[in-house]
Amino acid sequence: MPSLKEQLDQMVKEVQPQVIEWRHHIHAHPCLSHQEGPTVAYVQAALEAMPAKLIITNPTKTSILADLKGGAGEGPMIALRADMDALPLEELTDVPFKSQNPGVMHACGHDTHTACLMGAVKVLCEMQEKIKGTVRFVFQHAEEVSPSGARQMVEAGAMQGVDMIFGLHNRSLLEVGRTSSRAGIASGAVIDFDITVHGKGGHAADQQLCIDPIVIASDIVMNLQTIVSRRIAASKVPVISVTTLHAGTGSFNVIPDTANIRGTIRALSDEGERDAPRMLEETANAIAGLYGATCTFDWPEVVYSMRHAQHCFEIMQKVCVTKLPAGEAGFDVITDPSFGAEDFSEYERVVPGCFAYFGVKNDAIGACHGAHTSLFKVDETGFETAVRIHVRLIEELLMPA
> How would residue 311 be classed by pLDDT, with cut points 50, 70 and 90?
very high
Q: For 42-95, how does the pLDDT look when each residue is reduced to its tens digit (9 = 90+)?
A: 999 999 999 999 999 999 999 999 999 999 999 999 999 999 999 999 999 999
Q: For 355-395, how does the pLDDT look when each residue is reduced to its tens digit (9 = 90+)?
A: 999 999 999 999 999 999 999 999 999 999 999 999 999 99
Strands (E) located in 20-162:
55-57, 64-69, 77-83, 134-140
Per the rule left: phi > 0, alpha: psi between -120 and 50, beta: everything else, 73 is left
Best CA proximity match to 175, nearest among 335, 360, 356, 330: 360
State yes or no: pLDDT of 117 exceeds 80.
yes
State yes or no: pLDDT of 15 exceeds 90.
yes
State yes or no: pLDDT of 234 exceeds 80.
no
Cβ-based neighbours of 111, under 8 Å, separated by 6 or more: 23, 26, 27, 30, 84, 86
State yes or no: pLDDT of 235 exceeds 80.
no
Q: Decide whether 4-187+305-398 matches 189-303 in CATH topology.
A: no
Cβ-based neighbours of 12, under 8 Å, separated by 6 or more: 119, 123, 384, 387, 388, 391
Cβ-based neighbours of 260, under 8 Å, separated by 6 or more: 194, 195, 196, 197, 217, 244, 245, 246, 247
User: Is 365 buried (19+), middle (13-18) or exposed (0-12) by CB count in 10 A?
Assistant: middle
Does residue 110 have a known ligand-binding role? yes
Does residue 34 have a known ligand-binding role? no
Does residue 203 have a known ligand-binding role? no
pLDDT in the model for residue 232: 84
What mean pLDDT is predicted for residues 302-308? 95
> How would residue 121 be classed by pLDDT, with cut points 50, 70 and 90?
very high
> How would residue 231 be classed by pLDDT, with cut points 50, 70 and 90?
confident
Does residue 169 have a known ligand-binding role? yes
Q: How far apart are CA 71 and CA 134, in angstroms?
A: 9
State yes or no: pLDDT of 163 exceeds 90.
yes
Q: Which CATH code fits 4-187+305-398?
A: 3.40.630.10
Q: Which CATH code fits 189-303?
A: 3.30.70.360
State yes or no: pLDDT of 237 exceeds 80.
no
Beta bridge partners of 82: 139
Average pLDDT, the chain: 96
Beta bridge partners of 169: 357
Q: Which helix (H) or strand (E) holds 240?
A: strand 239-247
**Domain edges within the chain:** 4-187+305-398, 189-303
User: Is 298 buried (19+), middle (13-18) or exposed (0-12) by CB count in 10 A?
Assistant: exposed
Does residue 144 have a known ligand-binding role? yes
β-pair type (64-69, 134-140): antiparallel
pLDDT in the model for residue 298: 97
